[in-house]
Every structure is written in structure tokens, then in C-alpha cells.
Amino acid sequence: MSDLIVLGIESSCDETSAAVVKNGRVVMSNVISSQVDLHQKFGGVVPEIASRKHVELIMPVINQSLEEAGVNMHEIDVVGVTYGPGLVGALLVGLSAAKGLAFALNKPLVGVHHIEGHIAANYLEHPDLEPPFICLVASGGHSHIVYVESYNRFEIMGQTRDDAAGEAFDKIARAIGLGYPGGPLVDKAACQGNCEAIPFPRVRFGEGSMDFSFSGLKTAVLNYLHNMEQKGEKVNIEDVAASFQQAVVDVLVENTLKAAKLKDVKKIALAGGVAANSLLRNQLKSRAEKLNFGVFYPRPILCTDNAAMIACAAFYEYQNGSRAGLELNAVPGLKLGEK
């Protein structure tokens, strides 16, 4: 079998990213706008609001991904692109570039769901991992428990009813003055704190539900901070961070294990930015392994929004016969499993 080379493009939120992936599993390049120095591409002038300047970043990022992979445009077999969910204006930039390339090169175009991409990041990290498994996708914008039945079939088993897990981290970091991005900063502060110091609530929706709610937890932390201030007592930031983080991780792990037992799978995977959280990784690993589940997660760079994961997901969609026409549109509210 000859190699199948996929160019992946991702621009659903803040990051502009392009990557080249061989046979769905080998990352040849993975260029992410915030991670690389693109200054010289702008002739030394960096726009103040570069994070949203997908239009200016997209071609330099694509070119760099081809250069780093050592392939030219004509060696690309398939163009894979995120078409939802996300910001419509941001999605359209990557999508238009992908359509233009697919048309000019006369290569097939494959549309990818952003969350499907996050799940696929695990295939890049673990070459032997195959479905079925349960995947917890937790990031700034998403908190989903997904049953990955096959490379192309997904079932959402639980999701947040208000704030996403990553967002809860950001908001708490903001409230206790740790700054942005909140995830790594709370994680770091929590290492110095006592996770049992403050009994923050764990929201559960009964036996049958694997849904999450983090809004009440956020309010509980804010009320705690206010009460301490009223009493004139000093707040131990590390204890707040540790107790909050424990409350989030407890429900994430419990619901994920519940889903894994229900579907009787052998493997559990983590994906999305929150998958980089050290407590989540450790607790899921220790609790799941006691129950004989294998636990998988990608390295941090593959947990953030990146195009390698999109190229990987596109590979499996392509193998399954998926082809998008040039009329493919951005779908900001795209649901997982919808085509």
C-alpha cells in the first residue's frame, strides 16, 4: 500500500494550525500559530490582535507545515479541515483555504468535526490504540464523554449543562488572581495545597446521567472567597486551587468510569486541553487501572487545538468514504456524529 498523506487545517477558535500526517498516524509536521515564531513572515510587524488574524496567518502556517514535513503541495493526497463547531468567521478562513487547495490541486476534501479531531489525537500518540473506547474530551469550550464505537461512529454519553471544565479552571484562576490561562496555573498552585481543605460541591445528576455542571462549583468558590473576606480571614490560594481542582476531577473521573462500565469497554482515553491536567491524568489512571481499564492520553501539544489531530481524523473519515464537495460550509453549532 502506498502512503496516504493528509494536509490538516484547523482554525476553529484562537489557533491557526496546519499539519502533515502520513497514513493517519505519523506526524510529519504540526505548525500551531501561537507556538512558532512567525514574526519574520510579517516582515517584523506583528499585528496587535494576531490571535484572531487567521487570514494573515493561514498561508504562512500552511507553507511552514509543508516545509517542515519536506513535502510539496502536489504530494498531498487529501485535504482535511475543521468545519465545526467554532466561530464562524474563524472556521471560514481554514475552510476557504482548504477548499482552494483541494480545488487547485484536484485532491479530495474531507470535513472534520473539531471534537473528533481531539479524540483522534490519541491515535497519534498511541499507534496501537484502536476503538472501541470511552473518551473524555475536556477543554475550554467542551466537556463531553464520548463512546468511540469505531473510527467514524460516536455517541455522546454526557456533557456539561453550563460551563466547560477548562472554562471553570480559567474563571477560578481569575477569581483567585492567578491569571491566564487558568488550567496550568491552578494545577501548579494546587500542588502546594490541601485538596481536602474546603468541601466544595460535586454536582451529580443521578444514576443514569453522565452530565456535568461546573457553574455551581464556580459560585461556591466565589461565595467562599467572599465569606473569608467578610470575616477578614486570609485565603489560602493553594488550598482553594487544590480543593476546587479535586472537585472538578472527581466528577470527571466518576462519570468517565461510569460510561466505561456501561459500555463494557477495556480502554479509556483523555483529550482536549484539560487532559494535560496532572491530577486528572493521575487519578483517572490509578482509579481506572484498578478496574483493569487501559488509560491513554496525548502529550500536551496534541491536547491543544492543533491540525495534526484534524489530519488524523480526516484520514479515518477518508478511509470510510467521506468526501466533501466545494459547497462544504462552516457549521458553528455542529454536533458530534452529525454529517
Partner 1 sequence: MIEIRTDSVEETVDIGTKLGSLLEKGDIICLSGNLGTGKTAFTNGIAAALGIEGYITSPTFTIVNEYKGRLPLYHFDVYRIADPEEMFEIGFEEYTDGNGVVVIEWPEQIQDILPAERIWVEIKKDLAAGVDTRIITIEFKGKKYSEYEKHWKG
Which residues have a Cβ under 8 Å from the Cβ of 79 and sit 6 or more positions away? 6, 7, 9, 98, 101, 102, 105, 107, 108, 109, 110, 314
Nearer to partner 1, 79 or 165 (CB): 165
Q: Is 144 a residue that touches partner 1 (CB under 8 A)?
A: no
- What are the φ/ψ torsions at residue 107 (nearest 5 degrees)? -120, 155
Nearer to partner 1, 7 or 92 (CB): 92
Q: Least distance from C-beta 141 to partner 1, angstroms?
A: 4
Q: Which of residues 303-332 bind partner 1 (CB under 8 A)?
A: 332
Spatial separation of the C-alpha atoms in residues 6 and 193, rounded to whole Å: 45
What residue type is 235 in one-letter code? V
Q: Which of residues 61-80 bind partner 1 (CB under 8 A)?
A: none
Q: Scanning residues 242 to 301, which ones bind partner 1 (CB under 8 A)?
A: none
Residue with cell 489557533: 15
CB-nearer residue toward partner 1: 29 or 139: 139
Find the part of the chain contacting partner 1 (CB under 8 A) among 27-35, 134-142, 197-205, 254-262: 134-142
Identify the residue among 10, 116, 125, 170 touching partner 1 (CB under 8 A).
170
Q: Which of residues 179-238 bind partner 1 (CB under 8 A)?
A: 215, 218-219, 222-223, 226, 230
| Residue 140 touches partner 1, criterion: CB under 8 A | yes
Least distance (Å) between residue 90 CB and partner 1 = 7
Quick check: 87 binds partner 1 (CB under 8 A)? yes
Selected range binding partner 1 among 59-67, 85-93, 130-138, 239-247, rule: CB under 8 A: 85-93
Q: Smallest distance, Å, CB 128 to partner 1?
A: 32
| Residue nearer to partner 1 on the CB measure, 33 or 65 | 33
CA pair distance 155, 3, nearest whole angstrom:
30
Which letter does DSSP use for residue 155 in this model? E
Report the nearest approach of partner 1 to the CB of residue 224 (Å).
10
Output the smallest distance, CB 52 to partner 1, in A.
5
The piece of 38-46, 47-55, 62-70, 259-267 that touches partner 1 (CB under 8 A) is 47-55
The answer to whether the Cα torsion of 283, 136, 272, 31 is positive or negative is positive
Rg (CA), the chain: 21
Helix (H, G, I), strand (E, B) or coil at 255: helix
Under the criterion CB under 8 A, does residue 89 sit at the interface with partner 1? yes
Tally helices (H) and strands (E) across the chain.
10, 10
Helix 182-190 with 165-175: angle, nearest 10 deg: 70
Q: Does 116 bind partner 1 (CB under 8 A)?
A: no
- Residue 52 binds partner 1 (CB under 8 A): yes
- Could you say which of 2, 43, 44, 48 contacts partner 1 (CB under 8 A)? 48
Burial 122-159 (b: 16+ CB within 10 A, else e): bbbbbeebebebbbbbbbbbbbbbbbbeebbebeebbb
**Number of residues assigned to the chain:** 339
Q: Does 46 bind partner 1 (CB under 8 A)?
A: no
CA distance 143 to 252: 9
Reported as type and span, the H/E element at residue 228 is helix 215-231
Interface with partner 1: number of residues (CB under 8 A): 34
Which spans of this chain sit near partner 1 (rule: CB under 8 A)?
A: 13, 48-49, 52-53, 85-90, 139-141, 160-164, 166-167, 170-171, 174-175, 215, 218-219, 222-223, 226, 230, 332-333
